[in-house]
Amino acid sequence: MGIIEKQTIKGSFFSYLGVAFGFVTVGLLWPRFLEPEEIGVINFLIAVSAILAHIGSLGINSISIRLFPYFRNDKTRHNGFLSLALLFALAGTLLIVAYFFFFKERIVENNTEKSFLVANYIYFIVPFTVATLFYNLFDSLHKVMYNAVIGVFVKDFLFRLLNLILIALFAYFAFSFSLFLNIYFILFSIPALVLIISLSRTHQFNLSVNFSFINKDLWKSIGGVSLFGLMGGMGTIAISNIDKIMINRFIDLEATGIYSIAFLFGTIITLPSRSLGKIATTIIAESWKKNDTGTIHTIYSKSCLNQFIFGGLIFLLVWLNIDLVFMIIPPEYVAGKYVILFMSLAGVVEMATGLNGMIISTSKYYKYQSVFIFFLLFLVIITNYIFIPKYGITGAAIASLLSTVIYNLLRAGFLYLKFKMQPFNYRFLIVLAASILTFLAGSYLQNIESWFLRTVLICLSVLILYLIPILLLKVSVDINSSLSNSYKLILQKLKRE
């Protein structure tokens, strides 16, 4: 897993560095200098744009991941694939614009009383959606060209750094929220522009057309992958964004803002999976082309175990120190405490089940992924309808956890039935036992009054009861090997000095 390991490490580095900026920006400074309703409208616009951008992509991102290996040819500039991708994106943009003008008045009417800021800034939906659509497109193109790190860098690191600078300027100069939102959109567009420039600098941005290369069978495959990819991707988009839209509908924009801040803490768990998924998907697609199921099974098994270890570690550090978080941000955000718990658990489940969805979506059974997605979409909407009216924003998090568990169990079961791929073994039980033991110890330590002493002891318990046993028992060969190599590298540098 050389390419995967290197790019995952690099991507995770930028992701977590970006999380540091994101935590300070969105977790600490936004709640202090923006109203919950203002945070709510930003996250509402992003949620709507994510869903519309996926629909507007017309499935081109799935086509890139699954079918680009058939176009790959550096000498012919990949047989005009970029032109094909841009045609899909431009057609999708026209659909988005048409949708906005047809339904703008209805959206305004639905939000005028309860969420007036949405009504005021509704015109931002189109630009946010187009920026999202083109970022997703060019990020997919970089993935299939084995450069997944740059997408992580510009979105998870650069954008968050610029966002931190923006909120600092807002706090100092106290300019209007309207100006803040306009500048925020400009910063939001930068990742897509950087990816376009990156393709140009590497001489990959070529608009030559070679449709003669695409034979009848390939056109048929493009149509099928486009349709099922469009339907298939809705599940991930839905579970990440539809809850914010439904909270705004059932409660109000303030609740959406509080939920969004809590949601941020919960999604920290899944950060390593983003970098892994970006590069591993391309490797898996190439392996299916060669019918190399051994490599796929190895990637699947290792990804599940390593992500479970990292997910458990982050969950323990976040949840066991949760009271420290709420000492820093304004008191009204305490309402999101259990949103963090349930979203973090959902993140651990997502990490522990690895790349099951990517393996299915790049296999000959990719159409079945759409069946799972429709089921997930139905499940997310129904559970949100049930739990939000009863438990408010915590209900939305419970709905996400329940949907995530059922969805991933179904996909894991499908892989076992079709390919006999089953990544779980006794090593998972060791990690689970260490997690439970550490959780119980950390819960006991919550009784200590001094927050500083409590935090230190909790972190020590995570180190002694969770990390050290996993390392000593060599639960993950990859993790032990990476640490050993890092240690040797440090020693070599020290000797040179």
Domain ranges in the chain? Answer: 2-424, 425-484
Token digits of residue 2: 């050389």
Q: Do 261 and 336 touch, CB atoms closer than 8 A?
A: yes
Across 255-276, average pLDDT: 75
Examine the pLDDT at 256 and tell me if it is beyond 80: yes
Number of H helices, E strands in the chain: 24, 0
- Taking the C-alpha atoms of residue 100 and residue 98, their distance in angstroms, rounded to an integer, is 5
Examine the pLDDT at 453 and tell me if it is beyond 50: yes
pLDDT of residue 278: 54
pLDDT of residue 429: 94
pLDDT of residue 111: 60
Return the percentage of the chain with pLDDT > 70, whole number. 82
Q: How confident is the model at residue 401 (pLDDT cuts 50, 70, 90)?
A: very high
Examine the pLDDT at 28 and tell me if it is beyond 70: yes
Q: For residue 53, which amino acid is it?
A: A
- Taking the C-alpha atoms of residue 161 and residue 149, their distance in angstroms, rounded to an integer, is 17
Token digits of residue 35: 């109203």
Examine the pLDDT at 353 and tell me if it is beyond 80: yes
Q: Do 93 and 171 touch, CB atoms closer than 8 A?
A: no
Examine the pLDDT at 437 and tell me if it is beyond 80: yes
Examine the pLDDT at 383 and tell me if it is beyond 90: yes
Residue with tokens 């959206």: 107
Cβ neighbours of 210 (radius 10 Å):
16
Across 122-136, average pLDDT: 89
DSSP 237: H
pTM (two decimals): 0.75
